[in-house]
Amino acid sequence: MKIGIVGSGQFGKLWSQAGHQVLFSSRHPQKLAELVEQPGGAARAGTPVESIAFGDVVLLSKPFAALLDFGRSMTEALGRKVLFETANRPTADAVRRSCRGTGPYLREWFSGVPIVRAFNSGWDRTPATEAQALERGAAR
């Protein structure tokens, strides 16, 4: 599967090592050399627009505060591609009391884009650790 990633990190590295074609993106793609050069990986770097065009699906992993502008500028490029979105809204008590859940904002900011909220719970376990546990037959 071809996966476009906007906001690079752990998941893309694992997907690349698993053999998926991954395009990490940044406004400064040259800073992604370490992620792209992972052994066994099938990754390259580009801009967010290139990443969206490349992917069969797109993983968006940006801070919640950046989502409005990103949604305004990239919704048309996303079209009907499935967008996996990982951000959590701010946790300050005053902000939490005044905010709706994340979902209504995403529906508004990414109108018409199919969105899957994923990978946004705590990092008490990493995907690599979980995958290794499954390989050993360990049940959680």
pLDDT, one tens digit per residue, over 15-56 is 887 888 999 987 777 778 777 777 666 788 889 999 999 999
* Better pLDDT: 50 or 7: 50
* Better pLDDT: 135 or 44: 44
- Give residue 54's pLDDT: 96
pLDDT surpassing 70 at residue 132 = no
Domain that holds residue 130: 2-135
Average pLDDT estimate for 110-124? 78
CA atoms within 13 A on the CB side of 61: 17
Distance CA 35, CA 31 (A): 9
CA dihedral in degrees (114, 50, 30, 12; nearest 10)? 40
Structural domain includes residue 90: yes
Count of domains forming the chain = 1
pLDDT surpassing 80 at residue 79 = yes
- Give residue 95's pLDDT: 55
Structural domain includes residue 140: no
Neighbours of 49 (CB within 10 A): 14
Q: What would the 3-class secondary structure string for the chain be?
A: CEEEEECCCHHHHHHHHCCCEEEEECCCHHHHHHHHCCCCCCEEEECHHHHHHHCCEEEECCCHHHHHHHHHHHHHHHCCCEEEECCCCCCCHHHHHHCCCHHHHHHHHCCCCCEEECCCCCCCCCHHHHHHHHHCCCCC
Asked whether the beta carbons of 25 and 50 are under 8 A apart, the reply is yes
Tell me the CATH number at 21.
3.40.50.720
Tokens 């390259």 appear where? 44
pLDDT surpassing 70 at residue 140 = no
- Give residue 35's pLDDT: 75
